[in-house]
Amino acid sequence: MIAFSLRLGSVTWRLAAAPELEEWARRFARILGLQAVEDVRLSTEKIEENIMVFLPDRGNDGREIPEFEMLSAIADLPRLGWTVVPMFHLKLWRHPHAPVVVLRIPPAMSEDERILSMSEACLPFYVQAIENGGLPLHAALLSRNGEAVALAAPGGTGKSTCARRIPPPWQALGDDLALVSRLRSDRSPYWAQPFPTWSDYVFKRREGVWKVEEGRPLRAVFFLSQSDEDRIVRMGQGEAAIHLSQSGHQILSVPTRSIPIQEMRLLRVRMFENASSLARSLPVFRLEATLSGSFWREIERLL
């Protein structure tokens, strides 16, 4: 099986694909900027690891995985007790006592369906981050001096425009989606990493590469709005927590539609708790930016 490694915060994911899905997996890994690894099996080191396996969808939705013998060579897995979540473009197989998720990919898809299936394949990454105290943000990720700030806003507000306009030494790591992980560190409690702008592949036919593993310590979050002058206003913790939670919901609203209602309620509660913790730990601001001003200078003066 072809395999890749992905480090998200303090968690390492091993990604593996059946031979029938090697082309799909290689493209997915290329978009995320991942390197191939020789061994997909879990490490004996004391680090948090998970495995994601891509298998062809053969129409079997039972509680037992037909490819069990193949998967048992990767990790010690229970044979029974798996549940299936049918998503729009793939099926997610999970087990409550296994560090493995199985994604079943249809053998025949259009180009748009292939990209959308890759977007859905990222859902376990987001859920894992939420379970560990982080959350996804509908945000551009900007870096300077080895640190990052997130510019959060709904689509069409100007995140991509701001990401294109920043001058050196600023660097735009991503312009639409950032995954924030909670670290067990007093110095840098939150780690932010860019994820692909999947709409670029569907609507603009732009085949980019996003170096997802190029994370930075998150210094602050700015909620972007358009204005006739550049200015920054500090948010209170309650207001910040609500905005952070809503930003996470914007990312999860589509891929989680098929998740059981009770599970989704718990996920929403956990995400708001995480947003509240982040608002207590990091400054959150409202950034009012013009189309031609130097909004980054306001950020520099503040930080």
Q: β-strand 216-226 against 284-289: which pairing, if any? A: parallel
Q: Are residues 183 and 50 in the same domain?
A: no
Q: Encode pLDDT of 6-21 as tens digits.
A: 999 999 999 999 899 9
Taking alpha carbons only, the member of 134, 290, 292, 291 closest to residue 221 is: 134
Q: Encode pLDDT of 113-130 as tens digits.
A: 999 999 999 999 999 999
Q: Tokens at residue 4, please?
A: 């890749």
Q: How many CB atoms lie within 10 A of CB 302?
A: 15
- Tell me whether residue 128 is in a domain: no
Residue 62 pLDDT:
62
Number of domains present in the structure of the chain: 2
Domain end residue (candidates: 91, 121, 151): 121
Domain that residue 15 falls in: 2-121
Q: Encode pLDDT of 149-193 as tens digits.
A: 999 998 888 899 999 999 999 999 999 999 999 987 667 799 999
Beta strands, E only, the chain? 2-8, 11-17, 36-37, 48-56, 83-86, 91-94, 100-105, 135-137, 139-144, 147-152, 171-174, 177-182, 190-195, 216-226, 231-234, 284-289
The whole-model pTM stands at 0.93
- Tell me whether residue 129 is in a domain: no
Q: Are residues 245 and 209 in the same domain?
A: yes
- For residues 46 and 44, what is the distance between their CA atoms, to the nearest angstrom? 7
Q: What is the mean pLDDT of the chain?
A: 90
- Tell me whether residue 127 is in a domain: no
Q: Are residues 238 and 181 in the same domain?
A: yes
Stretch 270-282: mean pLDDT: 97
Domain end residue (candidates: 121, 147, 162): 121
Q: Per residue in 74-98, is it b (16+ CB within 10 Å) or e — as a string?
A: bbebeeeebeebebebbbbbebeeb
**Residue 19: what are its φ and ψ, rounded to 5°?**
-55, -35
Domain end residue (candidates: 121, 146, 180): 121
